[in-house]
Chains A and B, each alone.
Chain A
Amino acid sequence: MPTPTEVFATQDLARASLALARRFAAGGTMWCASSAWPHHAHHVAVEFVHPVIVGKRALAAVAVVPDGELAADLRGAVQSGDILLVLADADDAEAVDVLRRGTAWGTETVWLGAGTRRPPAGAADHVLWLDTDDPLAASEGFVRLYHLLWELTHVVFEHPGLLKPEPECTDEVCITCSDEGRLAEVVSVDGDEAVVRTPDGSERIDVSLIDAPGPGDLVLVHAGFAITSEVA
């Protein structure tokens, strides 16, 4: 008989709730996707959009029904400032890809999953993981996790002073574009130049330093140049 033996980090859940509340407060939409467990994606979305507790705010959450390649399903819908929440196993290549793109798209990325194999560090802004290989225990844990995510997000709303994003601390350093390496997704290529999508919007950059990229490729942008392509 499956017994719940999952262990998870409550601090990860708390940080995720704070981030979600900030994004929602700023007008973001949460996109919930799961190729493996579509009903969980739908459950998360309906929780947020139609709260079970009277008086709580309805929040913009949408379940993405997979219709081919998940990245293609999301690319047109997702906007910078949104949240991307994916439920998937650690070895789900499509989840890894979509969550990576989420950074280029300007979204806060959340990965819910289960199993003794975890995603690598940095695979998403928030990794909420259940330490169980039992699929039924995992399923029960997922429901608990996203219920708590909802409950904690609404607690954060009671602290309006904390809903503003924390100001970036730059101390005495002047940040210029030459200090940055930003992830971007190629939209179109035109010879040595390309239009790329970044969290700040569209940019035209020089791609002459790398092998010719194609639309959909992820590149690292530094001082107006693509300096590397990201290999999936």
Chain B
Amino acid sequence: MSESTDFLYPFIEGDETDAGSLLADLATSAEAKWQTSLRLCDETVDRYESVLRTAAAAMAERFAAGGRLFVFGNGGSATDAEGVARLYTHPPSGRPLPARSLVSDLAVITALSNDVGFDKVFSRQLIAHSRPNDIAMAFSTSGNSDNLMVAYAEAAKRGLLTVGLAGIDGGRMAVDPDVTHCIVAHSQSVHRVQEAQSAATHRLWAYVQEALAPVAV
């Protein structure tokens, strides 16, 4: 870059000292992203309304028969899985339901990953814990993680109800028959996908509660 054009790019040369205009840009950007996120949340929930209802009805049946919910995912999706398990067990309203994440026990995660392989870290736990009445639910932004697909195959083999939340184009989760009900947040942004999955999961929980509520006489 010639010296004569340096003034056009103050930030590249590290000469920028006035944070005011950056702060204004950041605030504008935050507002736009917030609105984009809200739109994707609404679109996802609307588009998958019938999947959410069907999945919720199937889940309610399993819960009513004594089934439990197993939730899992990788990275940020693992933390979301933890949050969802807690939503079911410690709901803000309605019925507490049995749910557990497969991501929190460090001894179990490291032992399975180290000894058997990371691709089996969730499937092995389903082998140990699951019963045919149970539900397996995974979160993935790509829809393609090996350890999720291996877990879904095991879950399907064992008769579990399988539900998935994926992003981008849904990946393998959206097309694999082992995943019976799949909600996809159609966005290229991992962050926006996770936000929309959060909204869809909350809607799913609400529909499960509705499905389990006693019918008014």
Contacts and interface: CB of A to CB of B under 8 A. Distances in A.
Task: Give the interface residue-count category, chain A.
Answer: 35 or more
Nearest to B83: A39
Contact of B38 (A4, A10, A148): A4
A139 B92 CA distance: 12
Contacts of B33: 148, 151
A192 B89 CA distance: 53
Interface stretch (A42-50, A103-111, A201-209, A218-226): A42-50
A152 B30 CA distance: 8
B75 A40 contact: no
Contact of B82 (A1, A42, A158, A161): A42
A43 B27 contact: no
A162 B87 CA distance: 41
Contacts of B119: none
Given A46-B79, A139-B83, A152 B195 contact: no
B31 A10 contact: yes
Nearest to B11: A159
A18 interface: yes
Contacts of B34: 10, 144, 148
Contact of B22 (A10, A13, A136, A162): A162
B80 A53 contact: no
Contacts of A147: 191, 194-195
Nearest to A52: B190
Given A144-B37, A161-B10, A50 B75 contact: yes
A140 interface: yes
B188 to A, nearest CB: 11
A140 B198 contact: yes
List 7 A-B pairs, minimum CB-CB distance, nearest first: A161-B16, A14-B26, A43-B79, A39-B82, A10-B27, A52-B190, A147-B191
Interface of B: 10-11, 13-17, 19, 22-31, 33-34, 37-38, 41, 75-76, 78-80, 82-83, 86-87, 92, 141, 190-191, 194-195, 198-199, 202-203, 206
